[in-house]
Amino acid sequence: MTTIPTAPEVGTAVPEVVTVGEAMAVLRATGPIRLAPPMELSVAGAEANVAIGLARLGHRTCWVGRVGDDPFGALVLRTLRAEGVDTTHARTDTQGRPTGLLVREDGIGDLATVHYYRRHSAGSALHPDDVLTTLNPATRILHLTGITPALSPTAAQAVLTAATRARALGVTVSLDVNHRARLWTHQQARETLLPLARHADILIASADELHLLAPDPALDEQHTIAALLAQGTREVVITRGGDGASVTTGRDGTHHAPARSVPVVDVIGAGDAFVAGYLSGVLDGLTAEQRLHRATATAAFAVATRGDWEGLPTRTDLTLLDTPAGTTLR
């Protein structure tokens, strides 16, 4: 197994947040692909999106993963670096594995279909050796999702290795379920995510994903959250789409925040934006209510713009949602 690490970034400080996962090239079609519509080329991947979102908010972030030795891989690394994300620990695969590709086609209304071309991709070859040297006791958060462990056995082991190492170093572990039914079955997801969740300090799931983490999938939401807190999770965050989000901690109970009201342009990437805002609040020492407020604000920027991460806000931008409607800044 031969990989080429990217060139070290001189003077880079220890990142506050490390994310581990697959970043892909994205082709966004403006209509049915069979009709050969115009396409836009970009980059996406849940963990990369979160890293970009946090960097936009002023935090030091590092993305760990593999890309192919191809133009798409160069695009991924160039985009992340341009957004201020440290790619020192990213690796370029030299075994002929390509960078993954995601193709999205828009349908009627806000309906979109996503096609993945990531089988045997460079990202799926992620290995525990790729992550062991990336974590430092000064790192504050390791962020993982349930997407990467679905890609391959070695990727699943790499994610679990990262979580185990982070807990040993006292680094907060954040896990976003982010279930992808096209990658694996619910049973396969549960078998992998249950042991991984035991290492997580912060668990994030949509209301319809929470059962994947439940010791007993028949438990209702309230009892599942209680069980997760009892096993050592510090906070359980539930996203509810247009109904906002909630967070439950053993110390502060449950807090709820409504979704921010904005014109909806593109909902893909909203969950990653929410996570970036929430973890930013954790890094800044905000209260549970304040963390949710920031998270719903960043998610609002995502849904109000086209693209997975392109419309994510800076820290200054966050205040814009609190200005009166129709305000013109001069």
Catalytic residues: 272
Of the candidates 204, 216, 142, 214, the residue with the CA atom closest to the CA atom of residue 179? 204
Do 233 and 8 meet the contact criterion of CB atoms below 8 Å apart? no
Q: Is residue 67 left, alpha or beta, with left meaning phi > 0 and alpha meaning psi from -120 to 50?
A: beta
Kindly report the CA angle at 61 between 56 and 62, in degrees rounded to 5? 135
**DSSP per-residue codes, 254-297:** EEEEPPP----S--TTHHHHHHHHHHHHHHTT--HHHHHHHHHH
**In 98-179, which ranges are E strands?**
101-106, 112-117, 141-145, 172-176
Beta bridge partners of 238: 205, 246
Burial of residue 35 (number of CB atoms within 10 Å: 0-12, 13-18, 19+):
exposed
